[in-house]
């Protein structure tokens, strides 16, 4: 039996899908419906599978409309638990609202035969045997699997056999069609066929389209031998893009963008994977329970589940449920949260430690915040921020339900950090994104993401990542890390944002995420070259791991942000407002220079820069502590005003890094698009570059240079005058 884990993809073959009533929607859905019809015609000739609940189940990724779009905010796709609930059509996941809906669970037939193996008598014994106190032992996992899945094994094997037979049949069918046209696949239409409207495709057309897609891929893989005369690679590639738009219902813009990410066959697999929902996964809330206990409770309720793999100790994959997963007593008691498997990854990469101070910059609805709180065992402090007040309500709800007691919710634009607060040990930026990794959850993404979105969003993400970096205490004893993640697969929102951060903040470097699977981030893409360390970022795809498309990057802050670095706020407003390092400037304004000038004729004996710096620093520290903005870094800085051997090394390191980054042959070309909107964004970025406003990170990290300069000048004048007086 195929067990889920790395690198094997999640197994969702047992999930009984029960579609909710989808609202009538876009032409995309119309097309998909037709494909469904096609499939059902096909299924007459092929063995029909029976799902665990006695329902008919498709053997292949279903060409069927994805769940109705759930996100109202175009720019924000990862709704975590909420999206999960919306998107889980088969398993009964409905929340409180489903409690009263008998039909929601009622029409899921109970499996009466071999599906659920444990008799009531056997369970207690089995429970004792299965769930020893040491949850992490491998054999426990095996036993869990055995206990829960044993009865499903035969069915899985049968299903696999059927799937293989179907795949073989399909291959033969495709080959037959191909062979009709001879050895070389005939991809391009005859002249008389050209111009046939592809918006009005019948079932046969769809079948032909699919065949043509296969053929085009074959040609692109063996161009020399299979290409038609007079046709270029570009011709084939463009044909493939058009066919993808017609077959799956993407806008040309997005199909083109996604196609560029992969070799042709992999691209096909990616588009295919976007047609089926990802497995339903729940995360055990270790603040309230253990996975083994939760699993047993849910098994007792008739839920079929399995640990999601060795890479997570808290995830359970749900195969089938006869109870609404969003309304079980365990759910209401906060023993678990519905959370896509890929959403575990950024928090695992962040690896928050007990007693740390952690910021989750874009936290709603709180899937990751609550995971962070659990890993910290409710110690230290988690600041869960979100700019959207309405979404923050869901965040608060989850924090309460899951029993997070170390968490404070705030409602700022994350661009305002670190002005609001700084000096964090770790910061998670799970950024608002286009959601191209979660198309299976929200099919509207196929058509509603425009070129403008993929300019605006990266622009915001770039400013947010600067704010994230500047909010971290580089001298944190336990941390100093920033994790950047998105549920998008576009390079513009991922590697390019990371590269931007490396360019603007030579005081950070990429480090390994610590995640045991995932594909390496791109170091080259469409003529752009990124820093070699971008390889350490991780990409996740639905077709590769059967998880949502995701991106995770982990930075280590190794030194204070340089004084001339532009801050996120200034960047966000095109450099018009003061950067986030406001406190430094405030100190400049507050120095009592004028008063002292008035006393110039007195017996003033001159300025003592060193002593003044001490007072200024103390005042700064007090102010920051009073506001709770940066309690730790300031103190640390104060203790070692001559900073530091400790810092010297990282600083040197970072210089070396930045030198490496800036060597001409390695210089990355970021934002290299030529479109007018891209130019605008480029201009905006250039503005940010040009702006040499004081640093943002600063507060505690560097004493104000402006102050001491002014003071030195004045001190010099005063000394001269005093000398003259003495004479
Ligand atoms: C991908 S979702 C976050 C999901 C969340 N991390 C979780 O795991 O449940 C992105 C979030 O960013 C928030 N957001 C958008 N712009 C923001 C900004 N400027 N500052 C802070 N949050 C922002 C959105 O309201 C949205 O909740």
Q: Where are the domains of the chain?
A: 203-275, 279-339, 341-557
What is the residue-wise DSSP string for 505-548?
-TTEEEE----S--EEPPSEETTEE--GGGGGSEEE-HHHHSS-
Least confident of 15-19, 162-166, 174-178, 587-591: 587-591
What is the structure's pLDDT at 284? 98
Pairing between strand 524-525 and 381-385?
A: unpaired
- Evaluate whether 591 touches 616 at the Cβ level (below 8 Å): yes
Cα–Cα–Cα angle for 173, 179, 181, rounded to 5 degrees: 120
* Rounded-to-integer distance, Cα 308 and Cα 306, Å: 6
Q: Which atom of ligand 1 is nearest to the CA of 428?
A: 6
Residues β-bridged to residue 721: none
366 is in an annotated binding site: yes
What is the structure's pLDDT at 518? 98
* Rounded-to-integer distance, Cα 687 and Cα 459, Å: 13
Q: Which atom of ligand 1 is nearest to the CA of 78?
A: 1
Pairing between strand 280-284 and 315-320?
A: antiparallel
Mean pLDDT of the region 528-556: 98
What is the structure's pLDDT at 660? 36
Distance 563 CA to ligand 1 centre (A): 29
Q: Which atom of ligand 1 is nearest to the CA of 75?
A: 15
Q: Write out pLDDT tens, residues 427-445.
A: 999 999 999 999 999 999 9
* Rounded-to-integer distance, Cα 60 and Cα 560, Å: 53
Q: Write out pLDDT tens, residues 93-102.
A: 543 333 222 2
Identify the residue with better confidence: 618 or 308: 308
What is the structure's pLDDT at 501? 98
- Evaluate whether 52 touches 320 at the Cβ level (below 8 Å): yes
pLDDT bucket at 141, cuts 50 / 70 / 90: low
Distance 361 CA to ligand 1 centre (A): 7
- Evaluate whether 203 touches 34 at the Cβ level (below 8 Å): yes
Q: In degrees to the nearest 10, what's the CA dihedral of 438, 444, 448, 451?
A: 20
Least confident of 169-178, 307-316, 479-488: 169-178
- Evaluate whether 335 touches 292 at the Cβ level (below 8 Å): no
Residues β-bridged to residue 320: 304
| pLDDT above 70 (res 149) | no
Query: CA-CA distances (angstroms) from residue 478 to 350, 352, 474, 559?
Result: 12, 9, 10, 15
What is the structure's pLDDT at 716? 47
Name the nearest CA neighbour of 384 among 397, 370, 374: 370
What is the structure's pLDDT at 317? 98
All residues at 6 or more sequence positions from 474 whose CB lies less than 8 Å from its CB, including other chains: 480, 507, 557, 558, 559, 560, 633, 647, 650, 701
Ligand 1: which of 72, 74, 76, 343 to mutate, most ligand atoms within 8 Å of CB? 76
C-alpha distance across the termini of the chain, in Å = 98
* Rounded-to-integer distance, Cα 387 and Cα 413, Å: 5
Enter the tokens of residue 379: 């110690």
Q: Which atom of ligand 1 is nearest to the CA of 80?
A: 9
| pLDDT above 70 (res 616) | yes
Helix, strand or coil for residue 218?
helix
Helix, strand or coil for residue 444?
coil
* Rounded-to-integer distance, Cα 286 and Cα 303, Å: 20
365 is in an annotated binding site: yes
Ligand 1: which of 82, 366, 386, 494 to mutate, most ligand atoms within 8 Å of CB? 386
Distance 540 CA to ligand 1 centre (A): 20
Of 245, 404, 433, 487, the active-site residue reads 487
Least confident of 127-131, 156-160, 314-318, 516-520: 127-131
Helix, strand or coil for residue 16?
coil
pLDDT bucket at 58, cuts 50 / 70 / 90: very low
Distance 267 CA to ligand 1 centre (A): 29
| pLDDT above 50 (res 674) | no
- Evaluate whether 362 touches 332 at the Cβ level (below 8 Å): no
Mean pLDDT of the region 466-491: 98
What is the structure's pLDDT at 571? 54
CATH topology for 341-557 is: Rossmann fold (3.40.50)
Q: Which atom of ligand 1 is nearest to the CA of 343?
A: 8
pLDDT bucket at 157, cuts 50 / 70 / 90: low
Distance 465 CA to ligand 1 centre (A): 13
364 is in an annotated binding site: yes
Name the nearest CA neighbour of 280 among 315, 256, 310: 315
Mean pLDDT of the region 606-616: 70
Enter the tokens of residue 607: 């300025």
Distance 414 CA to ligand 1 centre (A): 9
Query: CA-CA distances (angstroms) from residue 220 to 214, 226, 232, 238?
Result: 10, 8, 10, 11
What is the structure's pLDDT at 566? 77
Distance 423 CA to ligand 1 centre (A): 21
| pLDDT above 90 (res 329) | yes
DSSP state of 343: G
Domains 279-339 and 341-557 share a fold: no
Pairing between strand 524-525 and 528-529?
A: antiparallel
Distance 73 CA to ligand 1 centre (A): 11
Task: Count CB-CB contacts under 10 A for residue 23.
Answer: 9
Pairing between strand 426-430 and 519-520?
A: unpaired
| pLDDT above 80 (res 657) | no
367 is in an annotated binding site: yes
Mean pLDDT of the region 168-196: 60
- Residues with a CB atom less than 6 Å from ligand 1: 76, 78, 80, 343, 361-368, 385-388, 391, 413-415, 430, 432
Ligand 1: which of 79, 82, 359, 364 to mutate, most ligand atoms within 8 Å of CB? 364
Distance 439 CA to ligand 1 centre (A): 18
Residue whose CA lies nearest to ligand 1 atom number 5: 363
The chain-wide mean pLDDT, for the chain, equals: 71
* Rounded-to-integer distance, Cα 34 and Cα 55, Å: 22
Q: Which atom of ligand 1 is nearest to the CA of 430?
A: 6
Residue whose CA lies nearest to ligand 1 atom number 1: 78
Note the CATH number of domain 279-339: 3.30.70.1170
DSSP state of 111: P
Distance 409 CA to ligand 1 centre (A): 13
Residue whose CA lies nearest to ligand 1 atom number 11: 362
Residue whose CA lies nearest to ligand 1 atom number 10: 432
| pLDDT above 60 (res 603) | no
CA 501 to chain centre: 17
Residue whose CA lies nearest to ligand 1 atom number 6: 363
Name the nearest CA neighbour of 526 among 265, 271, 257: 257
DSSP state of 668: -
Distance 609 CA to ligand 1 centre (A): 45
Q: Is 538 left (phi over 0), alpha (psi -120 to 50) or beta?
A: beta
What is the structure's pLDDT at 542? 98
User: What was the ipTM of the complex prediction?
Assistant: 1.00
| pLDDT above 80 (res 210) | yes
Q: Write out pLDDT tens, residues 330-360.
A: 999 999 999 999 999 999 999 999 999 999 9
DSSP state of 325: T
Any catalytic annotation for residue 487?
yes
DSSP state of 130: H
Least confident of 134-143, 445-454, 643-652: 643-652
Task: Count CB-CB contacts under 10 A for residue 73.
Answer: 11
Distance 76 CA to ligand 1 centre (A): 7
Q: What H or E segment, with its residue span, contains residue 364?
A: none
| pLDDT above 50 (res 675) | no
Ligand 1: which of 339, 388, 404, 442 to mutate, most ligand atoms within 8 Å of CB? 388
Query: CA-CA distances (angstroms) from residue 249 to 31, 244, 259?
Result: 7, 7, 14
CA 561 to chain centre: 25
Percentages helix, strand, coil for the chain (3-state, rounded to 5) are 45, 10, 45
- Relative orientation angle of helices 264-273 and 203-221, to the nearest 10 degrees: 150
Task: Count CB-CB contacts under 10 A for residue 658.
Answer: 17
Mean pLDDT of the region 22-47: 37
430 is in an annotated binding site: yes
* Rounded-to-integer distance, Cα 660 and Cα 671, Å: 20
Task: Count CB-CB contacts under 10 A for residue 283.
Answer: 27
| pLDDT above 90 (res 201) | no
What is the structure's pLDDT at 610? 72
Residue whose CA lies nearest to ligand 1 atom number 25: 388
What is the structure's pLDDT at 564? 78
Rg of the chain over all Cα atoms, to the nearest angstrom:
29
Q: Write out pLDDT tens, residues 233-265.
A: 999 999 999 999 999 999 999 999 999 999 999
Q: What percent of the chain has pLDDT above 90?
A: 47
Q: Which atom of ligand 1 is nearest to the CA of 81?
A: 9
Q: Write out pLDDT tens, residues 684-708.
A: 544 544 443 333 333 333 333 344 4
CA 649 to chain centre: 32
CA 420 to chain centre: 24
SS3 per-residue string spanning 372-410: HHHHCCCCCEEEEECCCHHHHHHHHHHHHHCCCCCEEEE
Least confident of 35-49, 206-220, 489-503, 512-526: 35-49
Ligand 1: which of 362, 429, 466 to mutate, most ligand atoms within 8 Å of CB? 362
Helix, strand or coil for residue 51?
coil
| pLDDT above 60 (res 609) | yes
Burial tier of 644 (Cβ tally within 10 Å: 0-12, 13-18, 19+) = middle
What is the residue-wise DSSP string for 565-598?
PPPHHHHHTTT-S--S-HHHHHHHHHS-HHHHHH
Q: Which atom of ligand 1 is nearest to the CA of 360?
A: 6
Query: CA-CA distances (angstroms) from residue 419 to 331, 354, 559, 563?
Result: 37, 25, 18, 15
- Evaluate whether 445 touches 75 at the Cβ level (below 8 Å): no
């Amino acid at each position: 039996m195929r067990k889920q884990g790395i690198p094997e993809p999640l197994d969702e073959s047992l999930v009984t899908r029960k579609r909710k009533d989808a609202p009538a929607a876009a032409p995309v859905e119309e097309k998909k419906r037709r494909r469904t019809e096609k499939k059902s015609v096909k299924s007459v000739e092929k063995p029909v599978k029976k799902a665990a609940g006695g329902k008919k189940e498709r053997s292949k990724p279903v060409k069927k409309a994805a769940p109705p779009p759930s996100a109202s905010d175009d720019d924000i796709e990862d709704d975590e638990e909420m999206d999960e609930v919306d998107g889980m059509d088969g398993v009964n996941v409905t929340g409180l609202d489903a409690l009263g809906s008998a039909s929601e669970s009622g029409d899921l037939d109970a499996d009466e035969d071999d599906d659920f193996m444990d008799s009531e008598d056997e369970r207690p014994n089995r429970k004792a045997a299965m769930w020893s106190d040491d949850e992490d032992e491998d054999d426990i996992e095996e036993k869990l699997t055995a206990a829960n899945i044993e009865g499903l094994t035969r069915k899985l094997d049968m299903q696999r056999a059927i799937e293989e037979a179907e795949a073989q049949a399909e291959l033969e069918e495709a080959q037959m069609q191909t062979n009709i046209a001879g050895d070389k696949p005939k991809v391009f239409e005859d002249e008389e066929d050209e111009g046939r409207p592809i918006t009005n495709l019948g079932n046969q057309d769809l079948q032909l389209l699919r065949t043509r897609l296969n053929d085009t891929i074959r040609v692109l893989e063996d161009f020399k031998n299979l290409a038609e005369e007079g046709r270029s690679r570009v011709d084939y590639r463009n044909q493939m893009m058009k066919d993808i738009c017609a077959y799956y219902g993407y806008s040309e813009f997005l199909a083109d963008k996604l196609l560029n990410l992969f070799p042709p066959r992999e691209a096909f697999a990616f588009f295919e994977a976007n047609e089926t929902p990802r497995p339903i996964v729940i995360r055990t809330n270790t603040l309230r329970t253990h996975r083994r206990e939760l699993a047993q409770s849910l098994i007792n309720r008739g839920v079929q589940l399995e640990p999601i793999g060795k890479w997570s100790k808290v995830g359970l994959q749900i195969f089938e449920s006869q109870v609404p997963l969003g309304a079980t007593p365990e759910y209401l008691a906060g023993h678990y949260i519905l959370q896509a498997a890929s959403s575990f990854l950024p928090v695992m990469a962040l690896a928050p430690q007990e007693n740390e101070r952690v910021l989750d910059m874009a936290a709603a609805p709180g899937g990751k915040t609550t995971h962070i709180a659990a890993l910290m065992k409710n110690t230290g402090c988690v600041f869960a921020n979100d700019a959207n007040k309405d979404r923050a309500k869901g965040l608060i709800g989850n924090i309460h339900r899951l029993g997070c007691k170390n968490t404070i919710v705030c409602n700022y634009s994350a661009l305002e950090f670190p002005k609001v607060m700084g000096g964090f040990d770790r910061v998670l930026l799970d950024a608002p994104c286009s959601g191209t990794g979660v198309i299976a959850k929200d099919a509207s993404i196929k058509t509603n993401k425009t070129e403008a979105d993929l300019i605006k969003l990266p622009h915001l993400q770039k400013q947010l990542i600067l704010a994230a970096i500047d909010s971290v205490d580089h001298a944190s004893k336990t941390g100093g890390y920033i994790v950047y993640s998105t549920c998008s697969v576009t390079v513009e929102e991922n590697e390019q944002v990371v590269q931007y951060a490396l360019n603007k903040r030579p005081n950070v470097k990429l480090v390994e995420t610590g995640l045991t699977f995932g594909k390496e981030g791109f170091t080259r893409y469409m003529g752009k070259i990124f820093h070699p360390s971008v390889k350490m970022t991780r990409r996740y795809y639905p077709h590769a791991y059967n998880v949502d498309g995701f991106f995770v990057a982990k930075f280590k802050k190794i030194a204070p942000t340089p004084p001339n670095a532009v801050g996120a706020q200034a960047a966000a407003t095109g450099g018009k407002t003061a950067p986030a390092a406001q406190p430094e400037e405030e100190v400049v304004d507050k120095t009592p220079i004028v008063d002292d000038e008035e006393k110039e004729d007195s017996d003033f004996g001159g300025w003592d820069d060193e002593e003044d710096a001490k007072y200024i620093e103390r005042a700064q520290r007090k102010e920051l502590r009073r506001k709770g903005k940066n309690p730790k870094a300031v103190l640390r800085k104060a203790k070692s005003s001559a900073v530091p051997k400790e810092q010297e090394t990282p600083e040197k390191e970072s210089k070396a890094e930045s030198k490496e980054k800036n060597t001409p042959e390695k210089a990355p070309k970021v934002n290299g698009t030529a479109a007018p909107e891209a130019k605008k964004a480029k201009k905006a970025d250039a503005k940010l570059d040009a702006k040499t406003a004081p640093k943002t990170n600063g507060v505690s990290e560097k004493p104000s240079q402006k102050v001491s300069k002014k003071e030195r000048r004045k001190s010099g004048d005063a000394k001269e005058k005093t000398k003259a007086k003495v004479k």
